[in-house]
Structure 1
């Protein structure tokens, strides 16, 4: 029976287990996907509000 790639049978000296924190990357990407359009919308709204008071 063949071992799956993630099983302990494949763990050997040539395997490089580098701990990665993908949660931080996903969190940063989420903030970018929400924050950039939000910042653009806020600046556009403030620019149009400023025109009302000129």
Structure 2
């Protein structure tokens, strides 16, 4: 059995910044969509 190791270990700070870069606009879009949809039901 052999284990495969990454050639470059993942930098956890860069990974956290990447996920913030992805999730913040996504969360903003979901929030805006839901707030606009709620106007239809009032």
TM-score by length of 2: 0.70
Hey, which of these two has a bigger chunk of helix by percent?
Answer: 2
Larger relative contact order (CA 8 Å, sep ≥ 6): 1
- Asked which structure has the greater CA Rg, the reply is 1
Structure 2: gaps spanning 5 or more residues: 1-8
Structure 1: gaps spanning 5 or more residues: 1-20
TM-score by length of 1: 0.56
Corresponding residue pairs, total: 34
RMSD: 1.5
